[in-house]
């Protein structure tokens, strides 16, 4: 299709026929609508896009977007994303999920997606609780909070998702709030547009298990990054993690680096550069010297 005949894709065109079943007031509605707008900003082609998830309330999201999608098993969104991106690097690949899915059973996969600089976007909807399984303590639940599984208060220190992503190699790390549609849309747009592993921790309140006042509380805490913030310096970014009384939103960290696809492609070109490939015996002998 030529540029002169290309039809602009509106946010509504990304909506599927499946209606969200989240609780009324759930922060995930805001994330979903911001995603529609961000995709329209970038004119993302639905037929060249894949959205993948694990298990949880927020992991239902792929069904609500008119793209290819897959709702996998608990904690495995990034393993699916890795397979899709490495097999079809030309596709736009987005992984989504919650803090339990992404930081508990899926935490190890997050670490390795970051260090590999896998060229995908990961949107983690952080409600600081296990919502789908009825309110148990989660990796991001603040210390001391009473939940279904911590009657006397959570004894564990909370994980800061942004600190983890920055420390393990993600090249784009941002924090957003589902109650800030304009800011969140800009963040998702920037995350998808980034070449490399982009991680967006979005505070997405669970009104069922965290209370009706969560939106007001987070809104009162929210503040933007200062204009002179340098996102290319890791120390600057880390300074805005582990916040307790403030919710700083924006792009905390951003650098450019070769992606996993770039590195694998370079190896492929080297392997096809005219040198004879090693025989099966030569390969096996590196593992079994007496082979």
Domains of the chain: 11-285 (3.40.50.970)
Strand partners, 175: 201, 250
pLDDT at 275 over 90: no
What mean pLDDT is predicted for residues 45-58?
Answer: 96
What mean pLDDT is predicted for residues 54-77?
Answer: 96
pLDDT at 264 over 70: yes
User: What pLDDT was estimated at residue 271?
Assistant: 79
Q: pLDDT tens, 70-110? A: 999 999 999 999 999 999 999 999 999 999 999 999 999 99
Q: Name the average pLDDT for the chain.
A: 93
pLDDT at 206 over 70: yes
**Degrees (nearest 5) of the Cα angle 231, 223, 210?**
115
d(C-alpha 220, C-alpha 165), whole Å = 25
Question: Please, which pLDDT band fits residue 149 given cuts at 50, 70 and 90?
Answer: very high
C-alpha distances (whole Å) from 163 to each of 13, 137, 242 are 35, 20, 8
The pairing of strands 172-177 and 121-126 is unpaired
DSSP state string for 183-218? HHHHHHHHHHHSSS-EEEEEE---TTTS-TTHHHHH
pLDDT at 1 over 60: no
pTM recorded for the entire structure = 0.92
Q: pLDDT tens, 8-39? A: 999 999 999 999 999 999 999 999 999 999 99
Percent of the chain residues topping a pLDDT of 90: 84
């Amino acid at each position: 299709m030529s540029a002169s005949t290309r039809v602009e894709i509106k946010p509504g065109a990304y909506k599927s026929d499946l209606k969200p079943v989240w609780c009324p007031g759930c922060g995930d509605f805001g994330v979903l609508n911001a995603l529609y707008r961000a995709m329209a900003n970038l004119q993302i082609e639905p037929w060249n896009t894949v959205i993948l998830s694990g298990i949880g309330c927020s992991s239902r999201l792929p069904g609500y977007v008119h793209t290819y999608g897959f709702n996998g098993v608990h904690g495995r969104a990034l393993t699916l994303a890795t397979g899709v991106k490495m097999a079809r690097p030309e596709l736009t690949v987005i992984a989504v999920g919650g803090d339990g899915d992404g930081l508990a059973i899926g935490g190890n996969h997050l670490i390795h997606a970051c260090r590999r600089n896998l060229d995908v976007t990961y949107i983690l909807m952080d409600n600081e609780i296990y919502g789908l399984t009825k309110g148990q303590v989660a990796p991001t639940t603040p210390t001391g909070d009473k939940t279904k599984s911590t009657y006397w208060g959570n004894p564990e220190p909370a994980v800061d998702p942004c600190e983890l992503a920055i420390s393990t190699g993600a090249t784009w790390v941002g924090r957003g709030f589902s109650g800030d549609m304009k800011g969140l849309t800009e963040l998702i747009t920037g995350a998808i547009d980034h070449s490399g592993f982009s991680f967006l921790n979005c505070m997405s309140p669970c009104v069922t298990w965290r209370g009706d006042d969560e939106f007001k509380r987070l809104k009162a805490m929210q503040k933007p990054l200062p204009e002179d913030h340098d996102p290319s310096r890791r120390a600057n970014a880390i300074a805005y993690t582990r916040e307790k009384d403030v919710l700083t939103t924006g792009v905390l960290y951003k650098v450019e680096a070769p992606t996993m696809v770039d590195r694998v492609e370079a190896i492929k070109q080297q392997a096809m550069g005219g040198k004879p490939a090693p025989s099966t015996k030569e390969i096996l002998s590196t593992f079994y010297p007496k082979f």
